[in-house]
Amino acid sequence: MLGAGSWGTALAIQFARAGHPTRLWTRSAGDAAAMRAARSNHRYLPDAGFPEAVEVHDDLAAAVRGAAAIIIAVPSHGLRALLVKLKPLLARDARLAWATKGFELETGKLPHQVACEVLGDRYPVAVLSGPTFAREVGRGLPTAMTIASPDSEYANQLAKSLHASNFRAYTSTDIVGVEVGGAVKNVLAVGAGLCDGLGFGANTRIALITRGLSEIVRLGVALGAQTETFMGLAGLGDLVLTCTDDQSRNRRFGLALAAGKTVQQALADIGQVVEGYSAARAVHAVALRENVDMPIAAGIYRILYENQPARDVVKDLMTRPIRPEVG
């Protein structure tokens, strides 16, 4: 497990809980020493102790040597750099997966496209996504997610590796759809936090979620995804979770902005990566490139990057021309 943030740590615990010796890698020698001493990740997941099967490493080569599968859990802006470091260390039979969500900001590429560009197409790859808060997975609460790969056998093997009495994984071959769902929902969660923080009410929130889902579907289909994917865990499920629960950093970011904090103040207060902030810029660029109408995502972009008041954005959305709901 490469990346010892909250989600990487939770996944390492879950793989170990399911009976697999697991190496958790962090680039910080100090953090590695602290985790080895405490047998937990006090910085990101303090309430979840490590099973005996979890080893902590700060040496990347040692961490991946002989691994049956390499799972990456770093923010989207760090994926390419890690893959470049990883490339000369990979065995010929290496298998990779990632829990990274988001378009690459500079290129607008999805994670599987970045991986193919860096590593070629010689390795089986997969993405893990869905409605999962790290703290709940770390505590062993019942959870379900989706594993998508063009290689259905590999997806099934990963699903079985995670399976336990508290955890169920479903499989998919639609890696594009699962990645698009994971990328766009973070942007919409910022909008949900803004709307709730400004007191717009439950009606506004559910309208944002429902019409936001339509935007995800439109962008995903334009990029080659299957519509059905967005009705599942990695689409609707992840969107509802991150828009409605305050464990979501993206939602809390929106709430902080609504309370009058600046972007930098809100980011500093949260203290962890808020993917929805940079994702708003990336999604906006991809939507323009693909000529996909995404008015809610565009409105959130204007709030974050063009300083347009949220109330004005909502007014603009409400006065758009009448159109059919479907189509």
Residues classed as catalytic? 185
Residues forming beta bridges with residue 57, ordered by sequence position: 25
Strands 125-129 and 70-72 come out as unpaired
**CA 311 to chain centroid:** 28
Radius of gyration (Cα) for the chain, nearest Å? 19
Selection from 148, 298, 154, 140 nearest residue 235 by Cα: 148
Contact 71, 11 (CB under 8 A): yes
What does the alpha-carbon distance between residue 50 and residue 59 come to, in Å, rounded to a whole number? 19
What does the alpha-carbon distance between residue 244 and residue 270 come to, in Å, rounded to a whole number? 17
317 C-beta neighbours (distance < 10 Å), count: 16
- Show the tokens assigned to 252: 């809390």
Contact 278, 304 (CB under 8 A): no
Selection from 240, 2, 220 nearest residue 99 by Cα: 2
Beta strands in the chain (DSSP E): 22-25, 40-41, 45-49, 54-57, 70-72, 96-98, 125-129, 143-148, 167-172
